[in-house]
Amino acid sequence: MSSVRGEFSSRIGFIMAAAGSAIGLGNIWGFPGQTAQNGGAAFVVVYIILSFIIAYPVFIAELTIGRYSQSNIVGAFKTIEGGKKFKFVGYMGVTAASLIFAFYGIIAGWMLSYVFEAIFTIAGLTEIANWCVDSGSVSRNIFFMGTFGLLTMYIVSGGVSNGIEKWSARLMPILVFILVAMIVFVLMQDGAFEGLVFYLNPDFSKITDSKLIISALGQAFFSLSLGVGTMLVYGSYIKKEENIPTIGALVTIADVGIAFLAGFLIIPAMFVAQTNGVQIYAADGSLIAGANIAFQVLPGLFKSLGVVGPVFSFIFFALMTIAALTSSISMLEVPVAYAVDDLKINRKKSTMIFGLIIMIVSIILITNMDLLFGLVISIATQWLQPIIGVFISIFIGWVMNRNHVLNELKQGFPELEKSMFFKLWPWFVRVICPTLILLIFYTSVFE
Ligand code: TRP
């Protein structure tokens, strides 16, 4: 049965795919930006703590539900006893994953557009180069979103081991290599030290700030690709002999580690840019954040490097595009797995159908940017992800048969009952995670 659905061929294959999903624009661009906005290292500390105490237990819950049910997020609730009432959570997950892909594909398209801008600049084709990065151009936005979407569809249509796993395993080492090489380069430039100080010097007065905690939890959830069924379906492709708590911990460490590492690139790069005459503070005195880091400060830095600028620009935006691609495939896999498992549509067709539907949604977002873009991001990431995360925790903690959960975890982890994990994890998914998520969610929405 599992061979019909597809399966990761090896442990390292799963780790590459899951880390590929987790490590994305959220790590390399989102995390350093959030850190810059939220007082440097204080944010880093809270983010790391929340990643391990809230995100990790939910991650394990998703992997376990997936592997136990051998299904996608809708199919899992359909087949597990007691799950019927939770079927709506499955549909919410498919919707959330699709919405996330719809906006993520647009941003990834911008990253891709800068890759082409660099190539055309090197080739001396200034006019096309300028079109590539013309942020006001709807045709440019649609073209690059579409190109990125087709790349994603190409990989997903290849299947679990031959598409997702193969490409993640190829691209992730390249990503780490480029990231480290860029860090070495940036840290050798004037101004980098000031960035390091900003990054690593915590302003602890901000640590109890509710905005900081909310942002850190959102970041942890987004970064581990939780609360939409991505990790659930990836879990369904893990072999039964694998130890879920251990490989889950490895992926969490990789995800947090790469985010932390990316901070050593982006934040010092901002201060190097400033040394080179690029503006990095907004009018109100705060550091420039969000999209403007990637599409204003860093391009400014690359320009200031002269003739080698386009080469660095190419390398940097290739890094971003690779990071985005190994993540976007995991978003598209959520509706595709649902169509394959439950609607019995073959993978190629499922990929076509959902890929195209989502691209149409992306086009709607592009043509109604001011109205819809931010709204969809907040519905998907601030509402759906945490709410689904709570339902998943409650489901595995209170609804699912306890022995089934433990037996699933025991496969690949025979000494489970002697472990610290066994003592702690049930309480985290039953009480601590839902309570903390709801509390933080409540503060973020109603304060
Ligand atoms: N984790 C990825 C990032 O940090 C994005 C991502 C992939 C994601 N799959 C997801 C986010 C599912 C939420 C849900 O960029």
pLDDT digits (tens, 9 = 90+) for 39-90: 889 999 999 999 999 999 999 999 999 999 999 999 999 999 999 999 999 9
Assess whether the C-beta atom of 222 lies below 6 angstroms from ligand 1.
yes
CA–CA distance, 118 with 133 (Å, rounded to integer): 10
pLDDT tens, position by position, 310-344: 999 999 999 999 999 999 999 999 999 999 999 99
Fold classification of 11-446 (topology level):
Hydantoin permease (1.10.4160)
- Average per-residue pLDDT in the chain? 95
pLDDT tens, position by position, 396-447: 999 999 999 999 999 999 999 999 999 999 999 999 999 999 998 888 777 6
Whether 54 and 367 have beta carbons less than 8 Å apart is answered as no
CA–CA distance, 347 with 332 (Å, rounded to integer): 12
Quote the ligand 1 centre to 225 CA distance (angstroms).
4
Q: In the chain, what are the domain boundaries?
A: 11-446
Q: Please tell me the predicted confidence (pLDDT) of residue 3.
A: 45
Residue 1 has pLDDT above 50, yes or no: no
CA–CA distance, 317 with 334 (Å, rounded to integer): 26
* List of residues 6+ apart from 317 with CB closer than 8 A: 111, 112, 114, 115, 118
Point out the ligand 1 atom lying closest to the alpha carbon of residue 334: 12
pLDDT tens, position by position, 177-199: 999 999 999 999 999 999 999 99
* Residue 57 parent element (H or E): helix 56-69
Assess whether the C-beta atom of 51 lies below 6 angstroms from ligand 1.
no
Quote the ligand 1 centre to 351 CA distance (angstroms).
18
Assess whether the C-beta atom of 213 lies below 6 angstroms from ligand 1.
no
- Closest residue by Cα to atom 6, ligand 1, is 225
Mutation probe of ligand 1 site: the residue of 230, 326, 328, 376 with most atoms within 8 A of C-beta: 230
Point out the ligand 1 atom lying closest to the alpha carbon of residue 21: 7
pLDDT tens, position by position, 367-388: 999 999 999 999 999 899 999 9
CA–CA distance, 193 with 369 (Å, rounded to integer): 37
Integer angstrom CA distances of residue 382 from 108, 328, 387, 440: 20, 19, 9, 11
Assess whether the C-beta atom of 425 lies below 6 angstroms from ligand 1.
no
